[in-house]
Amino acid sequence: MKTQAEQVVWVQAVSYEDLAFNTGKTIRYQDEEVALFKLRSGKLQAIQNRCPHKEGVLAEGIVCDDHVFCPMHDRKIHLPSGLVQAPDTGCVKTYHTRVDDEGTIYIGFPTSEEMAC
């Protein structure tokens, strides 16, 4: 069985200290754009930076608990799962994150196309 580490490439992003709470950070890597969030709880969440509805920039949304509201048309998206909340439907890609001993955040980009949500 494959482990997670084999399926993704871990890419160094920003330092944990330098990330503001509940404020998205835009991370670009190759063709992908990620919205990285540090929630009030201290947890990190990373999702694809475009709303499935009209491509609103999710890094700019208002963050409440573990949801982000799309700044374009207020779609509510669950950060851990990437699922758009009812009554709307759809989902966005989610990315794994980890922090090393130095406090640097890494984002896991999938090496294959299997990451579809």
Partner 1 sequence: MTVKKEKLVLVGNGMAGVNAVEHLLKLAPDKYEVTIFGSEPHPNYNRILLSYVLSGDSKVEDIVIHPYEWYATNNITLYTNQTVTSIDTVTQTVTSDKGLTVSYDKLILATGSNPFMIPLPGADKEGVMAYRTIRDCEIMIESAKKYKKAIVIGGGLLGLEAARGFLNLGMKVDVVHIVDTIMERQLDRTASKMLQAALEEQGIHFLLEKQSAEIIGDKRVTGLKFKDGTVAEADLIVMAVGIRPNVALAKEAGVECNPGIIVNDYLQTNVPNVFAVGECAMHRGIAYGLVAPLYEQGAVLAKHLAGVETGPYEGSILYTKLKVSGVDVFSGGQFVDAEGTKAIRIHDEFTGVYKKVVIKENKIIGAVLFGDTADGTRLMQMIREETDISGMSKTSILTDSGGGSGGAASGVADMKNDAIICGCNGVTKGTICSAIRDQGLTTVDEVKNCTTASRSCGGCKPLVSDLLAFTLGDSYDKNAAKETICGCTTHTRDEVVAAIRDKGLSNVREVMNVMAWKNEEGCSKCRPALNYYLGMISPETYKDDSTSRFVNERMHANIQKDGTYSVVPRIYGGVTNPTELKRIAEVAEQFNVPTVKFTGGQRLDLLGVKKEDLTAMWEALDMPSGYAYGKALRTVKTCVGETFCRFGTGDSMAVGIELEKRFERLNTPAKVKLAVSGCPRNCAESGIKDLGVVSVDGGWELYAGGNGGVKVRVGDLLATVKTEQEIIEYTEAYLQYYRETGKYGERTSEWVHRVGIEHVREVVMNEEERKQLCERMDKALSVTQDPWKQAIDSKKIQRDLYEVVEIK
Residues found near partner 1 in the complex (CB under 8 A): 11-14, 18, 20-23, 25-29, 40, 52-57, 60-65, 67, 69, 71-74, 76, 84, 86-90
| Residue 1 vs 71, nearer CB to partner 1 | 71
Q: How far is the CB of 78 from partner 1 (least distance, A)?
A: 13
Q: How far is the CB of 98 from partner 1 (least distance, A)?
A: 15
Return the DSSP state at 56: -
For residues 108 and 95, the answer to whether their CB atoms sit within 8 Å is yes
- How far apart CA 39 and CA 113 sit, in angstroms, is 28
Burial class (CB in 10 A: 0-12, 13-18, 19+), 114: exposed
User: Residue 21 is inside which H or E element, if any?
Assistant: none
Q: How far is the CB of 17 from partner 1 (least distance, A)?
A: 11
| Residue 5 vs 12, nearer CB to partner 1 | 12
